[in-house]
Copies of this chain bind each other. A is one copy, B any other.
Amino acid sequence: MYFVKVYVTYKESVLDPQGEAVKGAIHNLGYDEIKDVRIGKYFEFKVEKSDRDVEAVIEEICDKLLANVNMETYSYEITEEA
């Protein structure tokens, strides 16, 4: 079994209004040292071993379902469970 973490965030060039809103709220709480906030989606998968390459499977799922590749970028970490 594999344990996979996927992070989907807006591309640098895309404005992140949610991030700006959260930054404002954080500053209202008095934490001015927070300079930049970006928000994204986080997925955790358990993936059974199969005849397909786990990386290829994850990338296909990201491209087809999890990320809007026009505006978002994704990264992932795969660890093998004992």
| Tally of chain A residues near chain B (CB < 8 A) | 36
Pick the contact of A39: B35, B43, B61 (CB < 8 A).
B43
Chain A, residues 39-61, CB within 8 Å of chain B (1/0): the string is 11111111111101010010011
- Whether the Cβ atoms of A57 and B31 lie closer than 8 Å is yes
Chain A interfacial positions (CB closer than 8 Å to B):
1, 7-9, 22, 25-26, 29, 31-50, 52, 54, 57, 60-61, 64-66
Q: A34-B48, A35-B47, A35-B48 known; 19 other A-B pairs, CB under 8 Å? A: A7-B42, A22-B43, A22-B65, A22-B66, A25-B65, A26-B65, A29-B60, A31-B60, A34-B57, A34-B61, A35-B45, A36-B46, A37-B45, A39-B43, A40-B41, A40-B42, A41-B41, A41-B42, A42-B42
